[in-house]
Amino acid sequence: MTSTSSSVRAGRDRIHEAYLAILKSELVPAMGCTEPIAVALAAAKAREILGCMPDRIDIACSANIVKNVKGVTVPNTGGLKGIDVAAIAGTVGGDASRSLQVLQSVTQADIEETVRLRDAGFCSTSLAEGIEGLYVLARAYQGEHNAEIVLRDTHDGIALIKRDGRVLFERGQVGALSSISTTAGVSSDDRKDYALLNVCDILEFATTVKLEEVRSTITTQIEMNTAISNEGLTHYYGADVGKTLARDARGDLRARCKARAAAGSDARMGGCAMPVIINSGSGNQGMTVSLPIIEYARSEGVSDDQLLRALVLANLTAIHQKKYIGKLSAYCGAVSAAVGAGAGMTYLKGGNYEKICHTITNTIATIGGMVCDGAKASCAAKIASAIDAAFTGMALADEGKVFRSGEGLVGDDVEDTIKNFGLVGGVGMKTTDIEIIKLMLKEH
CATH number for the domain spanning 162: value is 3.30.1330
- The domain total for the chain is 2
Quick one: pLDDT at residue 437?
A: 81
Pair 249, 157 in one domain: no
Pair 366, 240 in one domain: yes
Pair 154, 225 in one domain: no
Pair 155, 198 in one domain: no
Quick one: pLDDT at residue 2?
A: 66
Q: Are 137 and 53 in contact (CB under 8 A)?
A: no
270 Rama class: left (phi>0) / alpha (psi -120 to 50) / beta: alpha
Would you say residue 191 has pLDDT above 60?
no
Could you give the angle at the alpha carbon of 281 between the alpha carbons of 118 and 416, nearest 5°?
Answer: 140
The Cα-based distances of 185 to 155, 216, 226, 327, 412 in angstroms read: 9, 20, 26, 16, 40
3-state secondary structure of 173: coil
pLDDT per residue as tens digits for the range 212-242: 999 999 999 999 999 999 999 999 998 999 9
Quick one: pLDDT at residue 348?
A: 97
Please give the Cα distance from 10 to 170 (Å, whole number).
33
Q: Are 396 and 402 in contact (CB under 8 A)?
A: yes
Q: Are 222 and 307 in contact (CB under 8 A)?
A: yes
State the alpha helices, DSSP H only, in 94-198: 108-119
pLDDT per residue as tens digits for the range 77-98: 988 989 999 999 999 999 999 9
Pair 241, 383 in one domain: yes
Its domain, for residue 232, covers: 191-440
The Cα-based distances of 146 to 47, 87, 137 in angstroms read: 9, 16, 13
Pair 113, 228 in one domain: no
Would you say residue 3 has pLDDT above 80?
no
Pair 42, 124 in one domain: yes
In a domain, 23, yes or no: no
In a domain, 18, yes or no: no
In one-letter notation, the amino acid at residue 432 is T
Pick the last residue of a domain from 114, 140, 170: 170
Would you say residue 181 has pLDDT above 50?
no
Pair 240, 269 in one domain: yes
